[in-house]
Amino acid sequence: MKDFLEELKINFDHLEKSVSSRPGSYFGLEQEALLTDVSDYFNIFSHFNHITSYVEFGSAYGHGPLIFSRLYPSAQSIGIEFEEVRFKTATTLKNNFKIPNCEFILDDLAITKIPAADLYFLYFPTGPILDRILFELSQMIHKFNLVVVESHSDLIPRLEKETWLTEAFEIPLVSPRHYSKAKVYASGGLKLSSYFDFSFKEKYFMIRDSDHSIWIGDSLGLEWHSKDSLTLLNPPYTIHENQIQALVEFSSLNSSIQHLIKLRTVGEVKIESQQKHFQGFIRKIYIDPHLIIELSSGQRIKYEDLSKIDLI
């Protein structure tokens, strides 16, 4: 096995030149920051000699699934990765080493079907994609373990919000990480609904300000901030969880509000209202006590005074 781990060496710097700069690709990261050390994989898997299936979220060059499948020839492994050069290299390694019980899938974890497995591995940033992965996992009816390597010091605190996961044990890592051990969680607890269930869906929050006025924020793209705070993508505000009064569907909103929400996600607008002209990005859309648009400049315009609104 030691020889095999040695042979998994790749020309990292050369290969990484073909990686895209899309969010989540980690383009430009050093090898030891991007990849889990092969000896860590080996050590982690040695704790799971009874399991029959392994899935890695964001499998990069495939080291995890390859090592797992080599270690347990009668078990199956799957690596899911959206960067083509990493996926192709993983597939080449699998073919070169003739490892039939290992599969790589080139797909985006934002939409791909998550296969059932006994063991999952996560070394991944927090955000809507992670929220989606956790939501899908929480819906699985079988029991499994989830191994987590901390990415930026916020992944482990974020997992504490997942009531259905129970921390089982820790495994020391040689990879330099924000937290020096991999955490192993067991599924099976009760899932309570949380705002993270909506960060990858198009729903709308009714949010209360301190003066009791209500505005609308998109759930899509929300990120966990800290403790009970969330940062919205549209509009870009940080709110406290207890400001959220309700969650509604787009179809339940009237057409004026729907139009403003759509404009907000697209770009800058110019507005004519009572012979005045305004320009900026739509931020808060107040719906109670009046329909009011707040622009990025801080100016507020009552919808009933508005004569024209156009994208720039």
Ligand X SMILES: C[S@@+](CC[C@H](N)C(=O)[O-])C[C@H]1O[C@@H](n2cnc3c(N)ncnc32)[C@H](O)[C@@H]1O
Site string for ligand X, 115-154 (x = CB under 6 A): --------xx----x-------------------------
Please state the closest distance from residue 191 (CB atom) to ligand X, in A: 22
The window from 42-50, 81-89, 194-202, 255-263 that contacts ligand X (CB under 6 A) reads: 81-89
> Which two structure tokens, joined as six digits, stand for 94?
């699998």
Euclidean distance between CA atoms 276 and 297, whole angstroms = 15
Nearer to ligand X, 122 or 257 (CB): 122
Name residues contacting ligand X, limited to 19-58 (CB under 6 A): 24-26, 34-36, 56, 58
Among 1, 32, 110, 174, binds ligand X (CB under 6 A): 110
Parallel, antiparallel or unpaired: strands 238-240 and 76-81: unpaired
What 3-state DSSP class applies to 186? strand
Residue from 59, 138, 234, 243 in contact with ligand X (CB under 6 A): 59
> Which of 10, 109 has the CB closer to ligand X?
109
CB of 269: closest distance to ligand X in angstroms? 31
Pairing of strands 145-148, 181-186: antiparallel
109 binds ligand X (CB under 6 A): yes
SS3 264: helix
- Give the C-alpha separation, 84 to 90, whole Å: 10
Nearest-approach distance from CB 186 to ligand X, in angstroms: 20
Q: How far is the CB of 9 from ligand X (least distance, A)?
A: 14
Which DSSP letter does residue 117 get?
A: -
Q: 202 or 305: whose CB is closer to ligand X?
A: 202
> 82 or 215: whose CB is closer to ligand X?
82
In 3D space, the residue among 25, 219, 257, 242 whose CA is nearest the CA of residue 128 turns out to be 219
Binding footprint of ligand X, residue count (CB under 6 A) = 22
- Residues contacting 306, CB < 8 A, separation 6+: 271, 272, 273, 293
- Binding residue (CB under 6 A) for ligand X from 10, 38, 60, 102: 60
Q: 233 near 221, Cβ under 8 Å?
A: yes
Distance CA 229, CA 189 (A): 24
To the nearest whole angstrom, how small is the minimum distance from the Cβ of residue 260 to ligand X? 30
241 within 8 A of 230, measured Cβ to Cβ: yes
Minimum CB separation of residue 6 from ligand X in Å reads 17
Residues 301 and 293: beta-carbon distance below 8 Å: yes
Nearer to ligand X, 64 or 217 (CB): 64
The span from the CA of 284 to the CA of 108, in Å, is: 31
Please state, in angstroms and rounded to a whole number, the distance separating the CA atoms of residues 77 and 174: 23
Binding site for ligand X (CB under 6 A): 24-26, 34-36, 56, 58-60, 64, 80-83, 86, 108-110, 123-124, 129
